[in-house]
Amino acid sequence: MSYLLQVDFPMDGPFGDEMAQAFEELANSITEENGFIWKIWTENEDAKEAGGIYLFETKETAQKYLEMHTKRLAGFGITNVNAKIFSINSKLTEITKGPLK
Amino acid sequence: MSYLLQVDFPMDGPFGDEMAQAFEELANSITEENGFIWKIWTENEDAKEAGGIYLFETKETAQKYLEMHTKRLAGFGITNVNAKIFSINSKLTEITKGPLK
């Protein structure tokens, strides 16, 4: 059963194409993380916020990733991180076509 | 370009199969909403929280849904709702296999 990790934080930028260039290498490395299934990269230039929605294979791999990622964000000067790990209601998610693979 | 709506709130239950039964009809109706692409139903019985991650076709349809959904949640007695609408960095999301359809 997969777990969802929801992360967001204040960020001054870069956003958009500049963000994509800055984090391309990081994005590739994330795909190699233990238990990783997918990540959607979120951003809001007006609100100066960014984050990610991740799917992991287990609660433990989501927790370990979050621990590592929180330290990495702190290294970028980002410390005000909102993060929550949820289990998924798969019956309701199937009805609403949520992608769990 | 699709937009992501991230919603979570404190909830006493029901969770799991009971939640699925209680909200099956609602889940079916959500798939008919304007601009709706998919929803993952999130829950955390230990933390007594629940929510959803949604993908919408436009920012406007995400905003309209959130407005309606916030009122609906208030009708269930849920008023302490955290909600954020984000655009998506599609280049980075493609690298990390994020599902945008």
- Average pLDDT for B68-86: 95
| Chain A residue with the nearest C-alpha to that of B31 | A96
Confidence at residue A55, expressed as pLDDT on a 0 to 100 scale: 98
- Average pLDDT for B19-47: 98
Binding-site residues on chain A for chain B (CB distance < 8 A): 4, 6, 8, 15-17, 19-20, 23-24, 27-28, 30-31, 36-45, 47, 49-51, 53, 84-89, 91-93, 95-100
Judged by CB atoms closer than 8 Å, whether chains meet at A27 and B96 is answered as: yes
Please report, in tens digits, the pLDDT of each residue of chain A (101 residues total).
899 999 999 999 999 999 999 999 999 999 999 999 999 999 999 999 999 999 999 999 999 999 999 999 999 899 999 999 999 999 999 999 999 98
Beta-carbon contacts of B8 under 8 Å, excluding residues fewer than 6 positions away, are A6, A84, A86, B42, B49, B50, B51, B52, B81, B82
Judged by CB atoms closer than 8 Å, whether chains meet at A42 and B91 is answered as: no
Confidence at residue A1, expressed as pLDDT on a 0 to 100 scale: 85
- Looking at the predicted structure, is the pLDDT value of residue B1 above 90? no
Judged by CB atoms closer than 8 Å, whether chains meet at B4 and A38 is answered as: no
Neighbours of A25 (CB within 10 A): 10
CA B8 from centroid of its chain's CA atoms: 8
Judged by CB atoms closer than 8 Å, whether chains meet at A88 and B17 is answered as: no
- Average pLDDT for B39-45: 98
Q: What is the pTM of this model?
A: 0.97
H or E segment at A68?
Answer: helix A59-75
Q: Which residues of A touch B53 (CB under 8 A)?
A: 4, 6, 53, 98
More confident residue, A39 or B76: A39
> What tokens were used for A64?
């370990």
Q: How many residues does the structure list for chain B?
A: 101
Phi, psi angle pair for B89, to nearest 5°: -85, 100
- Average pLDDT for B40-56: 98
Confidence at residue A10, expressed as pLDDT on a 0 to 100 scale: 97
Q: Which domains does chain B have, with CATH numbers?
A: 3-90 (3.30.70.100)
